[in-house]
Amino acid sequence: MIFRGRLWRHGDFLRLWAGQSVSVLGTAVTWFALPSAAILALHAGPFQVGLLAALERLPFVFFSLLAGAWLDRRRPVMIACDVGRAVVLASIPIAALLHLLTLNQLYAVAFLVGTLTVFFDVAYLAYLPSLVPHGALLEGNTKMHAAHSLADLVGPGLAGVLVQALGAARAIGLDALSYLVSIAMLLSIRTPEAREPFVEGAPPPSIRREIAEGLRWVWNQPLIRSQLIGLTVGGLGFWMALPMALVFIYDVIHLSPALAGLVFVFEGVAALLGLLISAAVVRFLNLGRTMWVTQLVMAAGLLLFPVAALGFPFAVLAASAFLLGLADTVQDVNQVTLRQTQTPRRLQGRMNATFRLFFWGTQPVASFLGGALASHVGPGATIFVGGVLAVGSAALIAFSPLGRVREAPEPVTI
């Protein structure tokens, strides 16, 4: 599905795909370089790194539902968000060049980039189903995930080399440039964006009413509700552990930035493999089992991570990253497609906003708690706690309506 399919002849999808492929590569560099700048250049501790990660996702708590109800014309919002992210990220290498970079600036950049990402992501997830034919949605999501997987493959290794050679702040400047490519590709899309038709006699739009309708709809769909609950609990464990990964690698294992980046290359390799085997995994396990088994494999990856302190650190960390990349990709392609195909077009934005609120909205709380916990028990123990929460998420999914479904229901066509 990556190398074939009808979307290879869909010019506007390919423009969207090309722009996102470049920008997510830049984002992968910043994912590695931003905490590296805090740890290596500004000597941040576990609590400060957790706070930095929390601020990047805090906007998902405040703005997700508003974005889902408010967004109608999605492409202009995506372009505006890319412009904003480019400008905000460019401030970091400029400040570093002037010897003015501080942790407070990194905190502000994390929050502003997170805010713009809320609106971009909600707009993008609602825009894709309107751009490609309904029957090609799984193919579109698979190709988009291929871009993310390639970024995961190339980005951390590239980021490690760039951080070591240029410094973390200058490496982040490349991410700012990547958004300019995304802007150009979005501007070149020719397909007009459909708007919801005006209904004679309908009540005037109300943000509060539309938010409430979106929340009720998600909660009243058993498959989507159980997906939301399971992923949110899993996200709580994942976001508690992930910001502590680089703290653990730098402060406990004492790897260089280049070797630290190479660890996460294995996650990218596994993500590409996950895309190739995703359909086969679903055929072998069925859809419901795939959802909870992949969650269990991700939990195993987190639980394995702190074992690196006992010996063979690089091999253990690489194996952990491989398990996380493989399972996350297989799960993500299928869960995103499932909820998109089961949601009416007019509710796509609000449905995605609800998922962003609960799944991404757990990150600020989890990252803050993870940083605080790691300050007392260490980053390795904190990552282990995150893995235990991920096991609980797998159990929730397994015994939910989602865990019992054998194959995806017919797509909603309205």
- Chunked into runs of 10 residues, the chain (414 residues) has average pLDDT values of 69 84 84 86 86 82 68 74 93 92 93 88 76 75 74 75 86 90 89 56 62 83 89 89 88 88 86 87 91 95 95 94 92 83 77 79 84 91 94 93 81 63
pLDDT at 198: 43
Residue 413: predicted pLDDT: 60
Cβ pair 330, 278 in contact under 8 A: yes
| Domain at 6-190+207-404, CATH class | mainly alpha
pLDDT at 59: 82
The encoded tokens of residue 279 equal: 């359909």
pLDDT, residue 82, reads 92
| Closest alpha carbon to 374 in 325, 318, 315, 305 | 305
User: Can you give the pLDDT at residue 319?
Assistant: 96
Of the candidates 333, 315, 311, 312, which has an alpha carbon nearest to the alpha carbon of residue 323? 315
> How many CB atoms lie under 10 A from the CB of residue 130?
15
What CA–CA distance (Å, rounded) separates 289 from 387?
19
**How far is C-alpha 108 from the geometric centre of its chain's CA atoms?**
20
Output the six-digit token pair for 117.
Answer: 């990402």
Cα(first)–Cα(last) distance of the chain, in Å? 26
Q: Residue 316: what pLDDT?
A: 95
Determine if the pTM surpasses 0.95: no
Nearest-CA neighbor of 209 among 414, 70, 340? 70
Cα–Cα distance between 216 and 221 in angstroms, integer? 9
Which tens digits make up the pLDDT trace of 89-136? 999 999 999 999 999 999 999 999 988 888 887 777 777 777 777 677
